[in-house]
Amino acid sequence: MKNYKSIICVVAAVCLLGTAAFCGFRIYHYYAEVDEQTETFEEIVEMVEQAPTDETVPDDAPVSEGEDVLAKYQKLYLQNEDMVGWISIAGTTINYPVMQSRNNPNFYLKHNFEKEYSDLGTPYVQENCDIAESDNLVIYGHHIKGGKMFGALEDYKSKSFYEEHKTIQFDTLTEQAEYEIVAVFKTVAYSSEGFRYYDFVDAENEEEFNSYVGKCKELALYDTGVTAKYGDRLIALSTCEYSAQNGRLVVVAKKVG
C-alpha cells in the first residue's frame, strides 16, 4: 500500500514538474517573441527615419494607381499595401505603422507587419472606417506590458502625464497631421452597460456628433479643457483596460491645423 502511495506521489510530482516546465516554456516563448517583434518595429521605424522626404523627392510619382504616397512611407507601403498610416506620440514608445484589412477585420490583432502570426499584432483601423472621409477613425492596439504597443496609453490615466503629452501624430499615406487630445476614458466593450464608442464612425448630423463628443467628455477621467465641434476629424485609440472584464481605455483626439 505504501509503495502504491509512493508511486502516486511520484507521478503527481512528475506531472507538476511537466506542467511547470510547459508554462515556463510558454512564458519564455511569449517574451522572446515580444522582444523579437519589438526589434522588427524598431527596424521599420529606422526605415522611415532614413527614407527621403518629399522635399528631397521633387517628382512624387504614385507608387500604385491613383494614390500618391508620402516619400517616407513609400517603401513600407510597397511591402504591404494594407498600411494606411503611421501613429506616434512623442515621449512614449508609440511609433508604429497603422494597418487596415477590410475583408478580414481583426487580422492585425494577431499579425505583424509582414502578415505573420504575432501576439503583439500591429495597430489597425476598424474595417468600416474610411481613412480619407470618416468623422472618426477607431484605431486598435494591444496593451502590452512595458509600455509596448498601446500599453503606453495606460499613462494617460494620469492628468499630469496628459499635460506633458497633449498631442498625437497620425499620418495617413498622403498627409501628415497632428491631433489634440479631447478626452481619455474607461468603459467596457460588448456590454449594455458600456459606451459603444466603436459604433461611431460617421455622423449623420451635428446632433449625433455632439452626442458622441459629449459622452466622451462625460466619461473622461479628467477635464482636458478641449472639445470638438461638428466638422472636426477625430481618432479614437482603443486598448484593453484590466480593471474590469472586457475593459477598454480610449483616447479621443481631434485633428488640428
pLDDT at 23: 47
* CB distance 198 to 238 below 8 Å: yes
Per-residue pLDDT band for 40 (boundaries 50, 70, 90) equals: confident
Report the distance separating Cα 12 and Cα 7, nearest Å.
Answer: 9
Report the distance separating Cα 35 and Cα 17, nearest Å.
Answer: 27
Per-residue pLDDT band for 56 (boundaries 50, 70, 90) equals: low
Q: Residue 216 pLDDT > 50, yes or no?
A: yes
From the list 207, 205, 208, 216, the residue with the least C-alpha distance to 181 is 216
Measured N-to-C along each axis, helices 71-79 and 2-50 cross at an angle, to the nearest 10 degrees, of: 140
Pairing mode, strands 136-140 and 124-125 = antiparallel
- Ordered by start, the domain boundaries in the chain are 1-50, 51-81, 82-256
Q: Residue 192 pLDDT > 80, yes or no?
A: yes
Lowest mean pLDDT among 36-45, 82-91, 120-129: 36-45
Helix (H, G, I), strand (E, B) or coil at 42: helix
* CB distance 98 to 123 below 8 Å: yes
Report the distance separating Cα 181 and Cα 142, nearest Å.
Answer: 20
Amino acid at 137: L
Phi, psi at residue 155, to the nearest 5°?
A: -65, -20
Report the distance separating Cα 90 and Cα 165, nearest Å.
Answer: 7
CATH number given to 82-256 = 2.40.260.10
pLDDT digit string (tens) for 73-100? Answer: 999 999 999 999 999 999 999 999 999 9
pTM of the complete model: 0.83
H runs (alpha helix) in 51-158: 71-79
* CB distance 153 to 251 below 8 Å: yes
pLDDT at 49: 85
Q: Residue 182 pLDDT > 50, yes or no?
A: yes
